Amino acid sequence: MTSTVATATAAASARWKAFFNNGDAAGCASCYEEGAKMVATPFGTFVGRAEIEAFWSDLIDGGFADVQYVDPKIAVIDDRSALLTSKWTMNKAHGVIKRELWVVQADGTALLREDHFEALR
């Protein structure tokens, strides 16, 4: 079961990055649970898909693109959830993912329940 959670998390993370790199904010938001919480330092806290989609839409509209994760680590918590941490880079920023809590849903795909990241200068 551990490898299933890790595989679902890796696939979901890859799906989120593909949406972002294709400029699809709605796609990014679809990778979060309905009531998910995103803490984006220094930008603020965003709760729910609508707020999260608006954040990603503004960022994409600002010309941010080409996100890459640097040395990502997935730690399986239990038979349904895993934490992902990583450094990240993109064309106009870089930073660190402090905590992505991915939870495997009934259909076997993982969605973000919590997303805590920081943009550094």
Q: What predicted TM-score, i.e. pTM, was given to this entire model?
A: 0.95
Task: Write out pLDDT tens, residues 27-71.
Answer: 999 999 999 999 999 999 999 999 999 999 999 999 999 999 999
Confidence at residue 3, expressed as pLDDT on a 0 to 100 scale: 85
Is the pLDDT at 1 greater than 60? The verdict is no
Task: Write out pLDDT tens, residues 59-112.
Answer: 999 999 999 999 999 999 999 999 999 999 999 999 999 999 999 999 999 999
CB 102 within 8 Å of CB 79:
no
CATH of residue 11: 3.10.450.50
Parent domain of 46: 2-120
Query: Would you give the DSSP letter of residue 23?
Result: T
- Angstrom distance (rounded) from CA 35 to CA 49: 7
- The domain total for the chain is 1
- Burial of residue 5 (number of CB atoms within 10 Å: 0-12, 13-18, 19+): buried
Helix (H) or strand (E) holding 95: strand 93-104
